[in-house]
Structure 1
Amino acid sequence: MRVRHALRPIRPSEEEAVPDELIVLGSSSGLPTERRFAPGYALTAAGKLFLLDCGAPASTLLYRYQLDPVDVEAIFLSHWHMDHVASLGLFLSQNRLLKRLAPLSVYGPRGTRGKVRRLLSDSFLLADELGYPLDLTNIECNEAYQEALLRVTYFKTQHLERPKLKTQFGSKATACGMVIDGPGWRVVYSGDLTSSQELGPYIEGCDLLIHEMAHLPPKEVATFAAAAKVPHVLISHIGPEFDEAPEKIVEAFTEIYRGQLTVAEDGTRVRLASTTRKKIGVHR
C-alpha cells in the first residue's frame, strides 16, 4: 500500500537490476548475547552499499554476508552510544589497510565530525594518511542528505533528552531516527526511543519500519504500528528479556497488529519492495 507523503520516494530507474535489500548485521540491545551482536544494518540501494549504525563487529560481519567494506558509500549514525558506533574506528582503519581509494561519507548528530577526528587521532591515524577521502557531516534534524539514489532525513528522538546530559554535553547529546527514501520505497529507522509516538510525524508512506525493542514493551509498538497502518514492522535492537523468547513479541503483536511482522535475527535479510512489488520479502 502506498500513500501520499511530503518527500516522495525516488523512482527506480529502468536499469535497476540488483534487488534493494536490508541485512541485519546485529540485532541485540546494548547487551550483546551469544546469538546477537550489537546493532548495525547493511542497506543496498540501486546497487550501492550503505550502513545504518556501526555496532561491533559490523566491520567484520560484512564479510559474512559477502559484502566488501570498500564498497560502503556512506555510514549513517543514529547516536553515539557505544552499542551503535563501537566498530566505526576499526572500519575506518580496515579500509585504509584494504587500500580503499573511493570517498567515504559519515553522517551523524552534532559532534560527529569532532568525535571521528579524535577517534582517528587517538588511534595515531592521520586523516591525510588514510588513503581515501573521508567526508564527515554533522547532520541537522529534518534536513535531507543525498547519497547516490538514497535520501536520508534525520529526526530527533527523546532518547538522550535528559537534563543532566544536556547540562554536561549540550546539543551534542542528541539521538536521532531516520526516514530513508530509496528507489520506490521508504524505510523508517526508529533509532532509540522513549515512546513509539515519537515516530508519528515521520511514519507516513513508510513501507518498512525498523523499530527497536530495547526500551519499549511490544504492546506499545504493536499498538502504534496498527494505528499508523504500517505494512511491515522489523523488530530489532532486542533486549535480553526477548533474546531467547521472541515468541513473546509475536504474541503481543498478534493481538493488535495485522500487518507483516519480522522479529530480526542476526543475518535476517529483508528485500525492499518498490512500488511495483506487492510484498516485502524476508530471508534468513
Structure 2
Amino acid sequence: MTDDLSTADPKLLDTIRREILDSYDEEIELGFEDDRLDSLDGGTESGLDRRFYFRELLRLQHELVRLQDWVQHKKLRVVVLFEGRDSAGKGGVIKRITQRLNPRVCRVAALPAPNERERTQWYFQRYIAHLPAGGEIVLFDRSWYNRAGVERVMGFCTETDVEEFFRSVPEFERMLVRSGIILLKYWFSITDEEQAMRFNMRITDPLKQWKLSPMDVESRRRWEDYTRAKEDMLTRTHIPEAPWWVVEAVDKKRARLNCISHLLEQIPYGEVEHPPVQLPDRVRHADYIRAPIPPEMHVPAKY
C-alpha cells in the first residue's frame, strides 16, 4: 500500500474509511443505548456536548492503550475495584475501559455468589485466584467488599464475620501493595432519586430487565441500611496504601470520563517503542487450488 493516501486506489480508501467507522460503531451504539434509556423516563441529561464526550472518550481510550503497553512492557500488576450501589454505572465505565484493550492483558472479574465449598474457605481465597500476573490489569466488577455491603445488609453473614473482615481487609490490601500490586478502589455514588429512576428505566426497557434481580429490588427498600454500611466501609477501609476514590456518578458520561482520567493519573506510564511491522509476501504454490465450500454450509445472507 502506498504511503500517500491521496494517490491510493479509491476502493482501498473506501475500505479504510469503512474500517475506521466500524471501529467506532460500538461506542456510538453504547451512546445510543444511553440516550434511549434516558428517553424512556426522562433520565438525567449530562449537559456534555455529544461530540466533546466522544472526542474525550476516544482520547482517553488512546491513553488506556498506551497504559496497557506500559503495563505489559514493565510487567506491572494492576487491580482496580469498582464498587457502588446497583445501577450506579460501574458496568458502563468498565465497558469503556476494556473496549479497545487486549482482553489477554485487561480482564474483568465479576464473581457470582460463592458456592458451598467457597463458603467454607478463607473469605479472600476465591478472589486471590483472579489477581493479575505481571503485565496484566484486572478490573473487579464488585470485589471482596461484598462482605461489607450486600452480605452485611442482606444478612448473608454475621456481624462477627463483618468485624473480622474489617480487621483483615486493611492488612490484606497492604500485603497486596507490598507485593508490588497497584491497587485502586472506586466507589460510584448516586442519589436515592437517581437509583429509583434507573431502576424504573430497567423495568420499562425489555433489553435491560435482566439486570434487575430480586436482590436489586430488595436493595431499594433497604437504601438507608446500604448507606450506613457504605459509610462504615469507607471509614474503616480508607487506608493510605489503598485509599477510596469516590466518583460522582449521577451523570453517567461525566462519571466515565472523570474515572478513566483519574485512573490514568494514578499510574505513571510512558511510550513503549514498537518495532515496525512488515507484512511478508504471501507464499503461493502453483499446485494449490482452493476447495469450494458447499452452499449448505453458508449462513443465509439475510442482510
- Give the TM-score, by structure 2 length: 0.27
Where is the strand percentage greater, Structure 1 or Structure 2?
Answer: 1
Larger radius of gyration: 2
Where is the helix percentage greater, Structure 1 or Structure 2?
Answer: 2
